[in-house]
Structure 1
Amino acid sequence: MKRLDCKGLACPKPVILTKKELEAMDSGELEVVVDNETAKENVTKFAKSQGYSFEYTEKDGLYYIIIKKVQPKDAEECPVMDFDVISGDKRPVILIGSNVLGKGDDRLGSALMKSYIYALTESDVMPSTMIFINSGVKLTTEGSEVIDSLKTLESQGVEILSCGTCLDFYGLKEKLLIGSITNMYTIVEKMNNAPNTIKL
């Protein structure tokens, strides 16, 4: 079994190194060692998205993630497929980098952002994914005035992602109310694969 030590590495390095190591393997098991829960979540989500089986244990503040890669002919289950690629999804990805919309007065910017996200719920064309980074993560956590609109969007099939590093920076990780935590590698992949990215 190969071992990959990712202790002390910042997002998204653990995911990128795990991806490269698995790509270099024909089959077998890879043990990835990380030292924080965000890295553990990012690595296990990546493994799940690629159809790999995995398990993890925690000891003395470290997470030991064992990922199993098998040859396609030996796999018991088909790998998880990318729905957007299969369906030819033409919906945009929206990247929200602030909790206010536009530059100027923050009170006005907050009202504009609230209005924009509500208007999205009434739009004929929904985004495939909404990604929240920097202070934008304040919109997906406790105290946000747009949670109800985001819940409506999520119920209509919009994927809601918040940057894990950003949530940690603002001390909001435990206050996330909607969607899931993501990492910079996934953000780059989502933006690269989108037919159009709208940045606010």
Structure 2
Amino acid sequence: MNKIVDARGKLCPMPIIMTKKALKEITEGVIETLIDSEISKENLEKMARETGLSFETTEENGVYHVKIKKDNKSEEKAEIKNKKTVIVIASDQMGDGSEDLGKILMKGFIYTLTEMEDVPSTILFYNSGAKITVEGSESVEDLKILAERGTEILTCGTCLNYYGIQDKLAIGEVSNMYTIIERQTEATKVIRP
């Protein structure tokens, strides 16, 4: 069965939600999602990869056509990741009180993660925490070390856009609310510094 999902003009995370719902409704076939946002296109492609589904993307007159194929063997192909600890960083500073001290503490927190024997499986950055993953941040090099050791670094695309820093992402990938919630609900432990 083939189905078209028209998610043009829909804000994150609606294109992902609409596509996942359509995928649940079929056992085999192709779901073609129409979107007009590059971030949504990237998020759909990422979702397909993570769930072991093959996909093809084309662009026509500013509209992306993401065709995701589902078959009986798709679930067998899905990569099972060991999701353990997820760290949620919702601010560019740690704790309340002095802003300068809070930024020093956050930088120290991220550096200390690089020194731990077991690194977190994912670090989620949103709200002003998104500022930590962009060019000029003092923590980018530490985050690169964590990424090299296997930590998934995800930054909220809506937050990057809000602060006008979407073109300055220096580490990790742009994420969306659906993935932010998914990573937290699938984690065995969530830490919020």
TM bucket normalised to smaller? over 0.9
- Counterpart Cα distance in 2 of 1:30 and 1:83: 24
Alignment partners' CA distance in 2, 1:79 and 1:125: 27
Q: Number of matched residues? A: 192
What is the CA-CA distance between 1:78 and the residue it aligns to? 4.4
Q: What is the rounded CA distance, in whole Å, between the counterparts of 1:165 and 1:150 in structure 2?
A: 21
1:34 partnered with 2:35: yes
CA shift at 1:80, angstroms? 2.1
| Inter-partner Cα distance in structure 2 for 1:126 and 1:156 | 7
Partner of 1:152: 145
Do structure 1's residue 5 and structure 2's residue 6 form an aligned pair?
Answer: yes
**Structure-2 residue corresponding to 1:108:** 101
After superposition, give the CA deviation of every residue in 1:82-131 in whole Å (9 maximum; x if it has no partner).
221xxxx5x31100001111112211111111111111111233211111
**What is the CA RMSD across the aligned residues, in angstroms?**
1.5
Distance apart, 1:136 and its partner CA: 0.5
CA distance in 2, matches of 1:44, 1:128: 21
Q: Secondary structure in 1 aligned to 2:67?
A: strand
In the superposition, the TM-score normalised over structure 1's length comes to: 0.90
The runs of 5 or more residues in structure 2 that have no matched partner are none
Extract structure 1 runs of 4+ deviating beyond 3 A: none
For 1:176, the equivalent position in structure 2 comes to 169
Q: Give how far 1:63 is off.
A: 0.8
Give ranges in structure 1 of 5+ residues lacking alignment: none
Aligned to 2:47: 46
Residues 72-151 of structure 1: matches in 2 within 5 Å?
72=73, 78-84=76-82, 91-151=84-144
Spell out the pairing of 1:179-194 with structure 2 (5 A cutoff). Answer: 179-194=172-187
Q: Deviation per CA, 1:24-48: give whole Å up to 9, x if none.
A: 1121111100111011111111111
TM-superposed CA distance for 1:71, in Å, is: 2.1
